[in-house]
Amino acid sequence: MDRVPRRDFLIAAAALLAAPLAAEAQQAKVARIGVLAGNRAAGPHTLEAFLQGLRDLGYVEGRNVVIEYRDAEGKPERIPALAAELLALKVDIVFAPSTPAALATKQATRTVPIVFAGPADPVTDGLVTSLARPGGNVTGLSNLSTELVGKRLEQLKQAAPEVSRVAVLWHQGGTDGRTEKDMLKAAEVAARSLGVQLQLVETRGPADFDRAFSEMTKARAGALTVLPIAIFSFHRRRLVGLAATYRLPAAYPAREYVDAGGLMSYGANLADLHQRAATYVDRILKGAKPGDLPVEQPTKFELVINLKTAKDLGLTIPQSVLTRADEVIQ
């Protein structure tokens, strides 16, 4: 029987011992995800949807993933500094759902992957080169908000057919200038086809909200539509409260406004977008390049109506509108 030299035996034994240790080390690799929220308190359910999406894919905080959170608390001017903080922590990827968060992070890094979940127009906003081939280090899910501005105005007119003048609340600098123009143009085109007059009301920030609503009243606006801009979403409870105070039927871009007491909304389900964003994070952590992952667009849109708010406004929603609603809150 041939004898194995002692040196070769020791090398072989060391290799056998090292193999399971290497496999265990690979399994124990912990992903580090940065989450940059515009206002976590305003949308805890959307963040929870993202976390649930991660859990469904096998990520458990404290076991195989560490999540670093940063929250601008409704103050967009803080977002760039918070993005820099996350990147300084050497995160593997950043989940920056809103347009301001995604843009600020992109400006801070060209290498760390970024996933978004809600920009109105990622191409026009400058986040990606194209939807099919994003290029660079950014990808995610769009909410098609620009295309829905006119449809939302149409839904509002059908819910309140007597209205002849509608205020459009917008915020200069809330998103890319071209996207703002596209949204306002879409509202104007829809208004002409519906035979209603538009009153464009600009705000410069939350401190300007009271003035904006006072301006609507002075101009005798009969209803309101709010453009899909992140700062409005961050402060949606205040906007909904002002609409109630000034007794303005209002159409909003997301159901979160209706959950806060708003009259009606029409748009993509933001919680669903956030949950599906976890799939992008998973694929990138497993080696996919963000620039090769097409931006996903929503295919399902929901109309949500709050009948309690309608009653408080003295508004009777036509049955034809209620039957089309995906959800009616009593």
Decide the pairing of beta strands 114-117 and 138-141: parallel
Q: One digit per residue, pLDDT tens: the chain, 330 residues?
A: 455 555 554 444 444 544 444 444 444 589 999 999 887 766 678 899 999 999 999 999 989 999 999 999 888 889 999 999 999 999 999 999 988 899 999 999 999 999 999 887 899 888 999 999 999 999 999 987 777 899 999 999 999 999 999 999 998 766 656 777 888 899 999 999 999 999 999 998 889 999 999 999 999 999 999 998 888 888 899 999 999 999 999 999 999 899 999 999 999 888 899 999 999 999 999 999 999 999 998 878 899 999 999 999 999 999 999 999 999 998
Q: What's the rounded Cα separation, in Å, for the pair 264 and 310?
A: 9
**Shared domain check, 286 and 259:** no
Query: Which CATH number covers residue 261?
Result: 3.40.50.2300
Helices (H), the chain: 6-27, 44-56, 79-88, 99-108, 145-159, 177-194, 209-218, 230-234, 236-245, 255-259, 270-285, 307-312, 319-322
106-125 burial: b if 16+ Cβ within 10 Å, else e = bebbeebbbbbbbbbbbbbb
**Shared domain check, 151 and 139:** no
**Shared domain check, 237 and 192:** yes
Positive or negative, the Cα torsion across 185, 186, 190, 191?
A: negative
Q: What is the pLDDT of residue 182?
A: 86
**Shared domain check, 184 and 69:** no
CB 114, CB 105: distance < 8 Å: yes
Q: What is the pLDDT of residue 7?
A: 53
Structure tokens at 302: 């929901």
CB 285, CB 59: distance < 8 Å: no
Question: Model-level pTM?
Answer: 0.80
In a domain, 20, yes or no: no
In a domain, 123, yes or no: yes
Q: What is the pLDDT of residue 6?
A: 52
Which among 230, 240, 212 is positioned nearest to 76, based on CA atoms? 230
Q: What is the pLDDT of residue 3?
A: 53
Q: What's the rounded Cα separation, in Å, for the pair 118 and 142?
A: 5
Q: What is the three-class DSSP state of 145? A: helix
As for how many domains the chain has, the answer is: 2
**Shared domain check, 114 and 163:** no
**Shared domain check, 278 and 201:** no
Q: What's the rounded Cα separation, in Å, for the pair 178 and 295?
A: 19
In a domain, 19, yes or no: no
Q: What is the pLDDT of residue 28?
A: 55
Q: What is the three-class DSSP state of 6? A: helix
In a domain, 17, yes or no: no
Query: Token pair 């039957």 is at which residue?
Result: 323
**Shared domain check, 140 and 35:** yes
**Shared domain check, 157 and 68:** no
Q: What is the pLDDT of residue 42?
A: 63
